[in-house]
Amino acid sequence: MKLSLIIWILFTSLLFQQKEEIYHVVHVKGTVINKKTKQALKLQDQLKPSDELIYQTPDARVVVYSTAKGRFLLDKPTADKAGKADAPLSEYWRFVKNLFMPASAGEHLSTRALETPAIDDLESFFGINTFVFIGDTYKLRVDRGEYPMSGGKYFVYKYVYNGTDYSKRIAHTGDTLIFDRKSLYTIKDQVISPEEAGKVDIYYFNARTSPLKITTMRPVFLPEVQLKKELQGMISILKNQQLSEESLIDQLYEHVVVVYGRTNRQMLKEWIERNLNI
């Protein structure tokens, strides 16, 4: 009798926990509809395992976060694997995995500098895949010894758009490079999106030597308003976990890397300290 009672208590407890399980929406791209409410998902919405999603745009995706299970990416290809486009969330879990940071990004989690030092290795700084520039104007201080920018020395930002090569000289003030989205992507008085141009090459030019290719990467200019909303949502979710400031920064940094791509942790931390109350 006692054994049966214990089993019943454990069973009902598990059912209760599953019923109460909540997934917080921390990122939305495109249009994703909650079939139950018939409303488009937005940041800080809460989903349950029984909820069904409808993807109304080809590139639509949603990232959800559970304090118990972590972060998940849900998109139409995953839904198709689950059997149908509007499968309940509970049917996704055997097809999706927690999204972990790439090893190259995770290495920066241990960095605890008081301020961003002058960069003496831009190839390592940018990497060879995606790099996230925070805001429309991103300022980066480089080492004067490694990258002097006087006497015919400067940086160039190159990409191909509609079959035509474009080279844009990267602005600078002293030892600080200025990656300005509008300046870099203005063609014939029209501003194109970085996504349209795709990958870019960054070169360092020296009048006395051949151009030095720094890297080829895919840039993402992340709007500050969008970033602020998403990180505020993450802070709200994590506020009851009693994390230290550095652990909270790590979680916010992980969100940016997982959802958008590689960025510099210390520069993100400085942005968070200027724009968010943590």
**Residues 6 or more apart from 91 whose CB is under 8 A from it?**
82, 83
Q: Is the pLDDT of residue 200 over 90?
A: yes
Using a pLDDT cut of 90, give the percent of the chain over it. Answer: 54
pTM of the model: 0.77
Three-class DSSP category at 126: helix
Q: Would you list the domain boundaries of the chain? A: 21-91, 103-113+224-275, 122-218
CATH 2.60.40 for domain 122-218, yes or no, is yes
Tokens of 95: 């097809």
Listed residue (104, 64, 103) closest to 234, CA to CA: 64
The C-alpha atoms of residue 264 and residue 179 are separated, in whole angstroms, by 15
Q: In what order do the strands lie in the sheet with 23-29?
A: 46-47, 23-29, 61-66, 70-75
Beta strands in 118-247 (DSSP E): 130-134, 137-141, 153-161, 164-169, 171-173, 176-180, 186-187, 190-191, 200-206, 212-222
CB 43 within 8 A of CB 63: no
The mean pLDDT value for 66-80 works out to: 77
The pLDDT of 70-95, averaged and rounded, is 64
User: Torsions phi, psi of 82, nearest 5?
Assistant: -75, -10
Span 37-64, pLDDT tens digits = 999 999 989 988 888 888 888 888 888 8
Between 232 and 207, name the one with better pLDDT: 232
Q: Which residues pair with 133 in a beta bridge?
A: 221
Residue (of 199, 212, 254) closest to 231 by Cα position:
254
